[in-house]
């Protein structure tokens, strides 16, 4: 779905997390960044994905990988989600879809015979210099940390 490719410079962003802190791409220079875009807080698939990443955070951090979740939910909803599931990573509240569209993960979807616009579950692995190293489009919500580790 996205037009971005491996080897492209990752689009910059400036988005607040569940605590109101602003995050930008340059904040993560020198780290490998796993930005995962997901449809909605508190839904079964998104919860499974977030909890899998939470449960493997130590392994990811040992590999210098910082995880960031992004959806169109607001800060308040992200805060409830992060608190309920004890998520240790930032959840960016891209309510105006600027970052979501810059990464090309917004588009037509189908669910139960209905078509609508929404976020396509996609993860971008960005290297220490801001270059896209991998794009995971077929996300396995219950095994997502392993998918991230496998592409590196």
Exactly one of 34, 46, 79, 100 is catalytic; name it.
Answer: 46
E strand or H helix at 16: strand 14-16
- Name the pairing type of β-strands 32-37 and 122-126: antiparallel
Closest CA to 125 of 57, 60, 65, 54: 65
According to DSSP, residue 145 is labeled H
- Helix, strand or coil for residue 73? coil
> Would residue 51 show up in a list of annotated catalytic residues for this protein?
no
Tokens of 102: 């810059």
Closest CA to 16 of 118, 99, 80: 99
Residues identified as active-site: 46
């Amino acid at each position: 779905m996205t037009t971005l490719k491996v080897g492209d410079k990752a689009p910059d962003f400036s988005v607040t997390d569940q605590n109101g802190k602003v995050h930008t791409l340059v904040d993560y220079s020198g780290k490998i960044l796993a930005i995962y875009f997901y449809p909605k807080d508190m839904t079964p698939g998104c919860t499974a994905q977030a909890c899998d990443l939470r449960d493997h955070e130590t392994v990811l951090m040992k590999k210098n990988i910082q995880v960031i979740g992004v959806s169109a939910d607001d800060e308040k909803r992200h805060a409830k989600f992060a608190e309920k599931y004890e998520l240790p990573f930032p959840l960016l509240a891209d309510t105006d879809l600027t970052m979501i569209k810059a990464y090309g993960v917004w588009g037509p979807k189908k669910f139960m015979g209905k078509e609508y616009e929404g976020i396509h579950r996609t993860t971008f692995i960005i290297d220490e210099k801001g270059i896209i190293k991998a794009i995971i489009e077929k996300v396995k919500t219950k095994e997502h940390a392993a998918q991230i580790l496998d592409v590196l």
